[in-house]
């Protein structure tokens, strides 16, 4: 990780891409359950806010190793969360296919 500024940009990019997938599904698949997709979109927004706040407040500011571990866990958490939410979105689309 180069900097916290770059991490925030990465968080914004990944979360906005996941959110745009939700809106894409709503726009082009009229049979999908809109309420379920909007719930997934809401979860993406909540997680985005949470990750942005956490990126500003690392654990163990005095110890560089702890800070590095914190950011590594934050990135892993972000990727796992996005993957799970996109899997949920995919399952909603598969229900109507």
Global pTM reads: 0.91
* Contact status, residue 41 vs residue 23, Cβ threshold 8 Å: yes
Q: Which domain holds residue 89?
A: 4-96
Looking at residue 59, what is its pLDDT? Answer: 81
User: How do the pLDDT tens digits run along the chain, 97 residues long?
Assistant: 568 999 999 999 999 999 999 999 999 999 999 999 999 999 999 999 999 999 998 888 888 899 999 999 999 999 999 999 999 999 999 999 7
Looking at residue 62, what is its pLDDT? Answer: 86
Count of domains for the chain: 1
Q: Distance between CA atoms of 41 and 65, rounded to whole angstroms?
A: 34
Q: Distance between CA atoms of 95 and 92, rounded to whole angstroms?
A: 5
- Convert 9-32 to b/e letters by CB count within 10 Å (16 or more is b): ebbeebbeebbebbeebeeeeeeb
Backbone angles phi, psi at 59, to 5 degrees: -80, 145
């Amino acid at each position: 990780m180069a900097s916290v500024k770059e991490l925030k940009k990465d968080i914004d990019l990944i979360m906005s891409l996941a959110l745009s997938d939700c809106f894409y599904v709503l726009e082009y698949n009229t049979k999908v359950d809109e309420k379920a997709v909007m719930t997934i979109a809401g979860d993406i927004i909540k997680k985005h806010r949470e990750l942005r706040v956490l990126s500003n407040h690392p654990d163990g500011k005095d110890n560089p190793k702890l800070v590095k571990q914190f950011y590594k866990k934050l990135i892993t958490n972000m990727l796992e969360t996005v993957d799970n939410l996109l899997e949920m979105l995919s399952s909603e689309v598969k229900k109507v296919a």
